[in-house]
Amino acid sequence: MELKFSITQEQLITIAKKINSERMAKNARLAILLHAFIVRVLLLWIPLLSPLILFYFFLEIHTPETYIAIAICAISYLIVWTFLLKNIAENQASKFAVKITTLDRTIENTTLHRLASLEGSHTVTATASTLTLLPHCGKSITIPWTKFCYVKQDDDFYYLTSCNLILFKATYLIAKNGDTTETAAYQAGLEYIMSHLQPDKIEHQNFSASNE
C-alpha cells in the first residue's frame, strides 16, 4: 500500500517551535534540579558537616563540651538555612531557569535548518513486514515493523520512532492528510500502518521534543 503526502515549510516551522519550546522546558526543569542540588550541597551539607569532619580528623581530645559546641553550631546553621539561605537558593535557581528559557535565535535557526530537508513530497509504502519511506530527495529507508518503539501524533502528523540500538533512535513523519491520494484511500492506508504497530506503542498525545 502506497501513500503520498507533502510537508510544507509552514508545518516545519510549527514543528521547530514545538521542539524548541519543549526543549527549553526540559532544560529549565533540569537546571532547577541541578542548581538546587549544587546549592544545597555547598550551602547546607558541607557547612553543616564540616565542623564534625574537622573535629573527627584533626582534634585528638574529644570532650563533651566539644560535642555540645558542634551540636549548637549545627542547630544554629539549620535555623539560618531554613529561614534564610534555603529561600535564597531556590530563588536563584528559579531566576537561572527563566534565563535559559529565552530562545536564542541561533538555536531556533539551527532546529529549522535540521528539519529543512523534510520539506517537499514524500512516499510511504507499507507491506506486511516493512515500512518504506522515500523523501523527495535522498534514499529510501526500509524499516521492519518490529523496529518501531513508539508513535506520537499531533494535528498534522504521526511521528514514528524506530529503535535500532538502545542509544540510537530515529523519528519519521507521516502526514494525516495526503495531497495526491483520495481521502478515503489515504485514511485506509493510515489505518493499515497503525494496525501493524503494537497498541501499547501508540501514544495519543502532542508531539514531544524528543522527536527530531
pLDDT digits (tens, 9 = 90+) for 159-188: 998 887 666 788 899 999 887 657 888 999
Cα within 13 Å of Cα(163), Cβ side: 9
State pLDDT tens for residues 43-55: 778 777 777 777 7
Q: Which domains does the chain have, with CATH numbers?
A: 8-116 (no CATH), 120-207 (2.30.29)
Query: Which range among 95-99, 105-109, 168-172, 198-202 has the greatest average pLDDT?
Result: 168-172
pTM strictly above 0.75: no
pLDDT band, very low/low/confident/very high, at 18 (cuts 50, 70, 90): confident
pLDDT on residue 59: 65
Q: Residue 19: exposed, middle, or buried by beta-carbon count in 10 A (0-12, 13-18, 19+)?
A: buried
What is the average pLDDT score of the chain? 79
